[in-house]
């Protein structure tokens, strides 16, 4: 977009707006993941994914480009707006905000979801929430053996994977990003719809819930008031499938 403006645009106000998007110091990295209704009989126990949808937003100052993790922005109110709901995210300090199902956060495919950041000047990133991925797995899996996942040509930009051991509700594998640079790498990496869960996740016999979310990234045209090059919002719905690991 910026190249087109530089080479052919005579609207200097529009050009200035595009340049402002690239030089804006506010970096917002965020993910919003819903959880599909679980298959009958599948109980995640006290695992965090049992709480339903989850969202995390990390804000930083782009002027500290060499170390975004140590340049948090803390003076903001952050909400997610979707359908007719507005859910405030809870500040965790150090530029981090989060919410889950206990805060009233739910998921609706095909709805416009807006990450709204309220400071002296409001900022927003919007996207349309995608449908759930189609996930087909064998019902049994060999103990201590890697599990290959592939969403094929489904219309996603990336995927998120988690595995829960149902005997105790423990997460034995999780690719969910935990800091601003991990979210940045997820949202700015080459699209990949394959993943390998290592065999170390399946060392004990029993039933496991394999969860996969197909993620879509917001279009930069739907960013307002954030750094265009460094910010991102990605979202998708997590589907859980039970897999039995034999002794």
In order along its 247 residues, the chain shows pLDDT tens digits of 433 433 344 443 433 344 455 678 899 999 999 999 999 999 999 999 999 999 999 999 988 656 677 789 999 999 999 988 999 999 999 999 999 999 999 999 999 999 999 998 899 999 999 999 999 999 999 999 999 999 999 999 999 999 999 999 999 999 999 888 899 899 988 778 999 999 999 999 999 999 999 999 999 999 999 999 899 999 999 999 999 998 8
**The pTM is what?**
0.88
Give the domain ranges of the chain: 25-245
Helix/strand/coil (H/E/C) assignment for every residue in the chain:
CHHHHHHHCCCHHHHHHHHHHHHCCEEEEEEEEEECCCCCCCCCCCCHHHHCCEEEEEEEEHHHHHHHHHCECCCCEEEEEECCEEEECEEEECCEEEEEHHHCCCCCCCCEEEEEEECCCCEEEEEECCCCCCCCCCCEECCCCCEEEECCCCCCCEEEEEEEECCCCEEEEECCCCCHHHHHHHHHCCCCCEEEECHHHHCCCEEEEEEEEEEEECCHHHEECCCCCCCEEEEEEEEEEEEEECC
């Amino acid at each position: 977009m910026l190249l087109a403006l530089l080479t052919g645009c005579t609207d200097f106000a529009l050009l200035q707006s595009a340049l402002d998007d690239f030089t804006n110091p506010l970096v917002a990295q965020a993910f919003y993941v819903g959880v599909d209704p679980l298959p009958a009989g599948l109980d995640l126990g006290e695992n965090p994914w049992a709480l339903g949808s989850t969202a995390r937003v990390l804000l930083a100052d782009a002027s500290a480009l060499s170390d975004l993790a140590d340049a948090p922005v803390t003076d903001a109110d952050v909400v997610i707006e979707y359908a007719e709901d507005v859910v405030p995210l809870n500040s965790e300090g150090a530029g981090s905000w989060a919410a889950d199902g206990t805060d009233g956060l739910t998921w609706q495919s095909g709805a416009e979801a807006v990450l709204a950041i309220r400071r002296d000047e409001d900022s927003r990133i919007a996207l349309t929430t995608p449908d759930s991925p189609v996930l087909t797995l064998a019902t049994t899996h060999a103990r201590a053996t890697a599990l290959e996942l592939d969403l094929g040509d489904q219309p996603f930009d990336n995927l998120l994977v988690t595995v829960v051991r149902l005997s105790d509700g423990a997460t034995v594998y999780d690719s969910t990003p935990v800091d601003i640079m991990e979210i940045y790498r997820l949202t700015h990496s080459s699209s990949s719809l394959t993943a390998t869960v290592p065999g170390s996740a399946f060392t004990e016999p029993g039933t496991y819930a394999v969860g996969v979310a197909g993620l879509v990234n917001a279009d930069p045209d739907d960013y307002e008031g954030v750094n265009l090059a460094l910010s991102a919002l990605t979202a998708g719905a997590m589907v859980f499938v039970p897999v039995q690991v034999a002794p």
